[in-house]
Amino acid sequence: MPLCNLCKFVHLQKKSMITKIIAEDLILRAKNLLHHSDDVVIVSHQGPDGDALGSSLAMADFLTQQGKNVQVMYPDSFPGFLDWMPGANNALVYEKDPEACESFLCKADIIVCLDFNQLKRIGSLGKKIEQSKAKKLVFDHHPGPDQFADVQISYPQFASTSEIVFRYICRSGCFDEMTLACAECVYTGMMTDTGAFTYNSNNEEMYFIISQLIRKGIDKDDIYNKVFNNYSADRMSLMGFVLNHGMKVMPEYHTAVMSLSLQDLKDYNYQVGDTEGFVNLPLSIDGIFFSVFFREDTKKIKISFRSRGTFPTNRIASDLFGGGGHLNASGGEFYGSMEDALRLLEDSLPKYIF
Ligand code: 5GP
Ligand code: MN
């Protein structure tokens, strides 16, 4: 019998439930670990981004609602355009306040690690966590995890760790208890790790989840504005500078390379997070599918890689710059001069791109 319009709608709604991708056994083991813990430390990676904050603050909100004593900490500072996020101002930064972080780590029953899967991704905080007797629980979406946790919920097929946190909360039977603050954090992480749903974002369940976050009351357009339309004029000028004076386009390798020295950054009053997104810009050039951005830091050169299509940036990141990440977005580090870092990449391009 043909379906009426309303029936078709209901039928569609039933089909758009979320698939149980995370193994039931992992959900139960994570739940059990958390059930037996009162003091919780939540950690995310160095150079925290929207998904690092989104997943960690969403989890912090969820566990606080469950009556846990929760402390969030990051290895170093997060960008100013994320400081509106619910709970961000209560987070500690290890680089700035090591004693306070260590005292929370000492009394933690469990350390929940979000959006990273190798202790080297959290710098010197990694040693402290390795030495801690607390249980360790990982939620992450990067390939190639190290085994350092008691329970590891590691699924590279998800575009963000924030989406994994949402799925975990639902699978724990707690969707109804999810607060608006938690939903805002989940949405921010999902949005930033997909470039506002412009890459890695072709999964229909992602949009079902967004519909559920809207049901919770998030204002997605407002969140977009807070994250992407919240920069300083200096940052805009720095972007102009790097495009005009710091970019080399190599059409023969479908590659563009950008770099900024410490002096360049100083000239434009650089603040943490100001170069976020620069690495994506050259991908809008016709024929360019690989983009690399080198930013000089006080002790190292930080490198970001992005690609369009199937070119695996994480291979170059790991082969040449001790890093890693996803196929289309990865990062690494170089200890030496900018000149040497640029030469290493340029000399290696023929090996990777034919
Ligand atoms: P971004 O370029 O935005 O700093 O990082 C892009 C992606 O690469 C993120 O998923 C991030 O976690 C990962 N990533 C960035 N830097 C490093 C690094 O030094 N080592 C590893 N293993 N991953 C990195
Ligand atoms: Mn992420």
What are 300-351's pLDDT values in tens digits?
Answer: 999 999 999 999 999 999 999 999 999 999 999 999 999 999 999 999 999 9
Whether residue 331 has its Cβ less than 6 Å from ligand 1: yes
Question: CATH number for the domain including 140?
Answer: 3.90.1640.10
> Does residue 2 register a pLDDT over 70?
no
Q: Is 223 in the same domain as 265?
A: no
Give me the residue label for tokens 């809008």: 284
> Does residue 15 register a pLDDT over 70?
no
Picking from 227, 247, 277, the residue at the C-terminal end of a domain is: 227
Q: Is 219 in the same domain as 143?
A: yes
Q: Is 220 in the same domain as 238?
A: no
**Cα distances (angstroms) measured from residue 128 to each of 104, 171, 198:** 11, 31, 37
Query: Of 115, 119, 121, 258, which is best to mutate to test ligand 1, by the most ligand atoms within 8 angstroms of its C-beta?
Result: 121
Question: CATH number for the domain including 336?
Answer: 3.10.310.30
Predicted TM-score (pTM) of the model is 0.94
Query: Of 272, 330, 334, which is best to mutate to test ligand 1, by the most ligand atoms within 8 angstroms of its C-beta?
Result: 330
Q: Give the pairing type, strands 301-307 and 329-334.
A: antiparallel
**The pLDDT of residue 63:** 98
Q: Is 347 in the same domain as 284?
A: yes
Q: Is 203 in the same domain as 273?
A: no
Q: Is 112 exposed, middle or buried (0-12, 13-18, 19+ CB in 10 A)?
A: buried
Picking from 169, 198, 227, the residue at the C-terminal end of a domain is: 227
Q: Is 114 in the same domain as 187?
A: yes
Q: Is 265 in the same domain as 302?
A: yes
User: 145 is in which domain, residue-wise?
Assistant: 3-227
Picking from 170, 195, 227, the residue at the C-terminal end of a domain is: 227
What is the rounded CA–CA span in Å between residue 67 and residue 65?
A: 5
> Does residue 116 register a pLDDT over 60?
yes
Number of domains, the chain: 2
Whether residue 304 has its Cβ less than 6 Å from ligand 1: yes
Q: How many helices (H) and strands (E) does the chain have?
A: 13, 12
Q: How far is the CA of 11 from the centre of ligand 1 (A)?
A: 41
